[in-house]
Every structure is written in structure tokens, then in C-alpha cells.
Amino acid sequence: MLITGANRGIGRALAERAAKGGARVAGTHRGAAAPVVAGVEWLSLEVTEPASHRALAARLAGRPIGLLVCNAGIYRDEHDRLDDGFPAEVWAETLAVNVTGVFLSIQSLLPNIRAAGGKIAIIASQMGSDTKAPGGSYIYRASKAAALNLGRNLATDLRGEGIAVGIYHPGWVRTEMGGAGADISEEEAAAGLLQRFAHLSVATTGCFECWDGRAHPF
């Protein structure tokens, strides 16, 4: 299993829980300093940089990856106002991380996934659903809607190879991004998501599910 953005938040909770359960886990982080988590191999990756993806792919060449979890993401516009917020540079940064970064991660590691007959999990959000439109957070919502669309189309293209793609809402989680008032802990989210990943198959490819197993409307 390889988890992008595993150095904090939900990604770190996933890595810790999976490693404790006996899985072979690799996690990516930004910059030079890797966290220390028992049983987790740390790999450097800047998800917005094609050269970084090429370097990671070269390092992992020939190594099967049974599950790629695309978790790395940012949320920069939570408190922006329509009248004067949502600057172009935040649009560019958010889409680069939350959409292009997901695609490049999958594209660069697809040979490893194919070698394992593996599967792909994309951590999206209910905020990307067409059924959830309470306003605000335009940039983040648009990026997660794009990630959801990306996952659905990848599921179509990879189904014939036996590679399943699932898209997941992790819940409103008490992380730096989710805030202290969120509904569930990182550990609860990680436990539920790992169960969802285990149940992902070609029969359910293209699914959009919540951390607790409920199907989420698109």
C-alpha cells in the first residue's frame, strides 16, 4: 500500500493503522524531513511536480503496489468572501494539488499497480458532490468535484484491466483541515476507510462512498 500525503492528518492515521495491522505501507511526504512511524517506509513526493513523480516511479520500478491511496490535498479558501476572496493563485495551487496531483500519482505508478493487479482509492469529499451546494469554498469544492469526476472516468478506463477505482468521503474529521469541532477522529476515519478499501473490487469500481460504508450521491 502506498499513501500520498501520509505525513499528517487522515493520511498518517491510515498509514499507522494499516502498518499496525500488518500491511506493508509506504507513505509520501513533502520536503526532506520524514516522520517516524513504526512500520512505514517514507518516500519524498511533491505531487505538483512531474519530475518528483518520475523520480518516485524510478525508485519504485518493478515493485508491485496493491493499493494506491491518493490522499494528498489542500484547503486554502475556507474563509474567503465572494466579494474579495478566491484569488487566481489559490485556484491554481489547489487544482494542481487536488486534481493534477492525483492524476500524476496514478499515471506515474500505474505500472506498479498493474503488476500487482491492484486498486486505487481517491480521497475526495462530500463537498465535491453536486447534491451538496450550501455555498462558499468554491475552489475546494470545484477541486473535489474534479477529483470525483476523474475517479469515475479512470474507473471506466481501467475496469477492463481488472483495476478498481473507488472515491471516498472521509467524513468531517478532526484534523488541521477539518478543525476541532468536526464529527469524528482521524482514527475513526482511518478505520472506516480501510474497511472500504478492502471491499473495493471491479464489481464496485467507480463507487463514491462515505467512510462508514454509506453510498454517497454524486
Q: List the catalytic residue out of 75, 138, 140, 168.
A: 140
Phi, psi of 23 (to 5 degrees): -75, 150
From CA 130, how far away is CA 124, in angstroms rounded?
Answer: 13
From CA 31, how far away is CA 157, in angstroms rounded?
Answer: 33
From CA 45, how far away is CA 27, in angstroms rounded?
Answer: 9
> Residue 75 catalytic?
no
Phi, psi of 143 (to 5 degrees): -65, -40
Helices 50-59 and 101-116 cross at an angle (nearest 10°) of 20
Q: Please give the C-alpha separations between residue 140 and each of 20, 41, 207, in angstroms, as whole numbers.
A: 32, 30, 21
From CA 46, how far away is CA 106, in angstroms rounded?
Answer: 14
- 197: nearest Cα among 111, 95, 86, 122: 122
Please, where are the H alpha helices in the chain?
A: 9-20, 50-59, 88-95, 101-116, 138-158, 186-199
Q: Taken in order 175, 151, 15, 98, is the CA torsion positive or negative?
A: negative
Q: Which residues are catalytic?
A: 140
